[in-house]
Structure 1
Amino acid sequence: MEYLSSIILFAVFSSITPGPNNVMVMTSGLNFGVKESLPLLSGICVGFATMLLLVGFGIGQLFILFPELNLTLKMVGATYLFYLAWLIAKNHNMRSENRQSQPLGFFKGFIFQWVNAKAWIVAIGAVATFSNSADTSVVESFYIAMVFFFISFPCVGVWLMFGSLLREKFKSTRYLRWFNVSMSALLVFSILPILRDIFLHLQIF
């Protein structure tokens, strides 16, 4: 029971604290509402649980054996995050006023986990902390992944609900534009440590 409680606390803290996932979900909740944003929320939760499961199977060791793979992931991740930030920044109307705009869907949320630096740090940290042996078993990995899956839905969902509640406050196009650009800037800001690592790596080589 103590083992489960520790995993739950770790999952709650890592899922509910600010990060790229929560920024995207909150922004989607504001612009499109809860129902339209559920695919994005589902993609994030399923994508992270899948990634955590594979980390438990040893995929994280690939970054130690092949540093170039880590660099490639960071470069792809930074590019993809810039793309998502651009999608958020260019939307200036709520769904009811702009039928052509589309919320980020399940696939974008799922794929983003694989290029999300915070997600990798949490996944590797969770497996390293809660594995009882050097060779993590399949059952152990599945157990940790399932705990995170069920915890992340309500924790990240809090940000979705918060964004939805802000819809009444941001009906003005001007305020909505300001909010979206601000959230886009936060996503870009989260890339800075990744860009620093990329530049340092390129200087070495």
Structure 2
Amino acid sequence: MMPVSITPSDGLSLSMIASLALFALVSSITPGPNNLMLASSGLNFGVRRTMPHIFGISLGVSAMLILVGLGLSTVFQTWPVLYTVLKYVGGAYLLYLAWCIGTAGPVGPGESRGKPFTFLQAAAFQWINPKAWIMSIGIIATYTPQNGFYVNLMVAAVVCTLVNLPSITLWAAFGSALSRVLRASAAVRAFNVSMALLLVASLYPLAQDLLVSLK
């Protein structure tokens, strides 16, 4: 039997995994729709009640990465109008979420006004989250070798989850920590409005695409 030689191109090398982890870290920990909503949720509901939201994001992004890698992207190549519709529906939904965050007041002990995202809501949200799409496509195109693609895709999803989960949890913890400082109702409202405005600002690339398409 001839010996089988394994080359770096047969799978993810340690250096490529390190690069993938760095990409996932930068993508996960920088401001975006998920993190802004987690900060607001941490402030208003605390980290414990925000945990389903956190796990929904992390596992939702990984599931999206796997499904896109398995060929869902070809559906959008065949019917690009579906991606366009999804993109603008997602933008409209983000505006709605920004409104909900911006108009939310502080939640006192015993109050039940408003609820954090559930696991399924957070996971489903990733399909209309532009940053999640960029992250998934970037990982598939750059950090997933074609030789042994399916195994590499699963490894990439695991690495993404291990990096993403603690990164986004920091945002919920940040919001929760601020709740001990921002005790005044006006301060909590100011924070929520700031998060809402940043969420709207994250839609700037989408607005640019819309303006270009209208010309």
Structure-1-length-normalised TM-score: 0.91
Structure-2-length-normalised TM-score: 0.87
Query: In the aligned structure 1, how far is the partner of 2:142 from the partner of 2:208?
Result: 27
1:194 aligns with 2:206: yes
The equivalent position to 1:115 in structure 2, one of 128, 132, 135, is 128
* Residue identity matched to 1:170: L
Aligned in 2, Cα 1:33/1:55: closer, same or farther, shift over 3 Å? Answer: same
Query: In the aligned structure 2, how far is the partner of 1:54 from the partner of 1:180?
Result: 34
Residue 98 of structure 2 corresponds to: 85
Query: In the aligned structure 1, how far is the partner of 2:102 from the partner of 2:77?
Result: 36
Alignment of 1:49-198 (within 5 A): 49-96=62-109, 98-133=111-146, 137-198=149-210
C-alpha contact (below 8 Å) 1:74/1:115 kept by paired residues: yes
Which stretch shifts more, 62-71 or 165-174? 62-71
Determine helix, strand or coil for the equivalent of 2:207. helix
Say what the alpha-carbon RMSD is for the aligned residues.
Answer: 1.7
1:35 aligns with 2:18: no
Aligned in 2, Cα 1:70/1:64: closer, same or farther, shift over 3 Å? Answer: same
Which stretch shifts more, 160-169 or 57-66? 57-66
Query: In the aligned structure 2, how far is the partner of 1:123 from the partner of 1:136?
Result: 18
Residue 14 of structure 1 corresponds to: 27
**Unmatched 5+ residue regions in structure 1?**
none
C-alpha contact (below 8 Å) 1:93/1:176 kept by paired residues: yes
Query: In the aligned structure 1, how far is the partner of 2:119 from the partner of 2:100?
Result: 15
Query: In the aligned structure 2, how far is the partner of 1:65 from the partner of 1:6?
Result: 32
Determine helix, strand or coil for the equivalent of 1:59. helix
Matched length: 202
**Unmatched 5+ residue regions in structure 2?**
1-13
Determine helix, strand or coil for the equivalent of 1:10. helix
Query: In the aligned structure 2, how far is the partner of 1:163 from the partner of 1:131?
Result: 34
Which stretch shifts more, 29-38 or 87-96? 87-96
C-alpha contact (below 8 Å) 1:74/1:198 kept by paired residues: no
* Residue identity matched to 2:203: I
Provide, for residues 7-38 of structure 1, a one-character-per-residue CA deviation record: whole Å limited to 9, x for no partner.
Answer: 21111111111111111111111111110110
Provide, for residues 154-197 of structure 1, a one-character-per-residue CA deviation record: whole Å limited to 9, x for no partner.
Answer: 01111111111101111111111111111111111111221321
The equivalent position to 2:58 in structure 1, one of 45, 59, 64, is 45
